[in-house]
A and B are shown apart, each in its own frame.
Chain A
Amino acid sequence: MASLYERLGGEAAVNVAVERFYRRMLGDERVADYFDGVDMDRQMAKQKAFLTMVFGGPANYSGKDMRAAHAHLVTRGLNDGHVDAVIEHLGGVLKELGAADADIAEVAAIANSVRDHVLSR
């Protein structure tokens, strides 16, 4: 059976999803501040890394990496509510792109599995 990443459409799907996801994040005042960098290209690259990871694609992140990537955000107050918002937008984008409910749930589960690392717990 195809992997989750392949079922969702692989790299092509990531490329389509990444703009929509980023637009949602920038447009949501709960989380937008954390993405407030002028360098949109770099931010897009991070969004792509994020999506590749939660789609279960080829990226080798460890919990240590996730801690390091978000540690400076935790000092700025990153909490469970923000992770919930991210997962909500992720689900929204996947639904728009026609993903199956079971796959959406699996993506959410992957995102949830690194919650403690992201929040430095």
Chain B
Amino acid sequence: MPTIHWREQAIEAPTGQSALDALLNAGVVIPNACRAGACQSCLVRASAGELPPQAQAGLRDDQRARGEVLACRLPVNDGLHLEPAGPLSIAGELILTRRVLPTDSVAVLHLLPPPGLRPLAGQLLHLIREDGLSRPYSVASLPDDTLIELHVRQVPGGRMSTTLCDTAPIGARFGVRGPFGDCTLRDGEQDRPLLLVGVGTGLAPMLGLARDAYARGWRAPVTLIQAGLNEAALYQPEALTALTAAWPGLDWRRVVLQAPASDGVEVGDVVEAAKTSYAAAPSARVYLCGDAAVVNRLRRALFLAGASLAALHADPFTPTA
């Protein structure tokens, strides 16, 4: 019988069994759902042992390189050492250098990264407060920018968002883990249209992607939809003003749920707006970000409209429990 290790714990399991079953049988709690390699619930990390390709199918290259693996598709083998996957290493400290408040409830933050931290537009960083509280935020800046830009909505009573939007002084330091996520542009796709939909502060990564596309000289049409509850919620960061001025070809739509709205701002459901933009460019790669309920509705609607899940990237801001 092969022996595998979960951290320090040795576990014997019959040949042919999946690592997931072996761990569950030994009483280790591993989330799981499909047991078919599709949902990635059972992601763990292997520090040693044989990893067949099917056990890493669907993972990003950086995850593979770290040894992350789907336990349900991994047959036990002697010498396999497993541990929890995930952001264990801390990348350094960010220093808050600038805070602009375009509306009452949104802060645009600029932070000085530690050496070597150059997140792509659209990726996530986990910010860590002194007391250890950690929350993900999406990146609006480009890797070559000196400062990292984040947009944070102040959630009423929210611990991290209040610190970031209000109480942290300029010069405050935050721990950081990351970058994570594949809500990023793909290389060599300059001729493929883009549909970028940002709901609320979901604008941040979409603005980052639009800036990235502009910097890469995108040739196909790019649509950026900014959505909010009402016109007051449609904040306009400096980088957006600069981008729309520099790039008249960018199809920039602003959509609010509640009237009234001034010229150039549409009133309606962002899902309908996104569907019309998608219908005009069905070969587009689609990126959706922001409020979880809206993003999940968008994702479903665009999938039903024909978008393949492989070309449909969504980062719902799943609230903390």
Contact = CB atoms under 8 A, between A and B. Distances in A.
Nearest to B40: A41
A37 to B, nearest CB: 10
B242 to A, nearest CB: 35
Provide the main secondary structure of the chain A interface: helix
Contacts of A27: 304
Given A19-B308, A40-B296, A45 B303 contact: no
B299 A44 contact: no
B192 interface: no
Interface in A15-71: 19, 23, 26-27, 38-42, 44-46, 48-49, 52, 59
A19 B309 contact: yes
B104 to A, nearest CB: 29
A11 B38 CA distance: 11
Interface residues of B, number: 18
Nearest to B306: A23
Interface string B25-68: 00000000111101111000000000000100000000000000
Nearest to B305: A23
B201 to A, nearest CB: 20
A39 B33 CA distance: 12
A41 B39 contact: yes
Contacts of A42: 33-34, 39, 41
Contact of A44 (B38, B41, B293): B38
B153 interface: no
Contacts, number: 46
Contacts of A40: 296, 299-300, 303, 309
A39 B295 CA distance: 11
Interface residues of A, number: 17
Provide the main secondary structure of the chain B interface: loop
A45 B304 contact: no
A27 B54 CA distance: 31
A95 to B, nearest CB: 19
Contacts of A49: 34-36, 38
Interface string B61-97: 0000000000000000000000000000000000000
Contact of B34 (A26, A38, A46): A46
Contacts of B54: 11
Contacts of A26: 300, 303-304
B211 to A, nearest CB: 28
Interface in A64-105: none
Contacts of B293: 38
A45 B38 contact: yes
Nearest to A59: B36
A26 B302 CA distance: 12
Interface of A: 11, 19, 23, 26-27, 38-42, 44-46, 48-49, 52, 59
30 contacts: A11-B54, A23-B303, A23-B304, A26-B300, A26-B303, A26-B304, A27-B304, A38-B293, A38-B300, A39-B296, A40-B299, A40-B300, A40-B309, A41-B39, A41-B40, A42-B33, A42-B34, A42-B39, A45-B36, A45-B38, A46-B34, A48-B34, A48-B36, A48-B38, A49-B34, A49-B35, A49-B36, A49-B38, A52-B36, A59-B36
Interface of B: 33-36, 38-41, 54, 293, 296, 299-300, 303-304, 306, 308-309
Complex A-B, nearest 4 residue pairs according to Cβ-Cβ distance, in ascending order? A45-B34, A45-B39, A45-B38, A38-B296
Given A27-B304, A46-B33, 10 more contacts: A11-B54, A23-B303, A23-B306, A38-B296, A41-B38, A41-B40, A45-B36, A45-B39, A48-B38, A59-B36
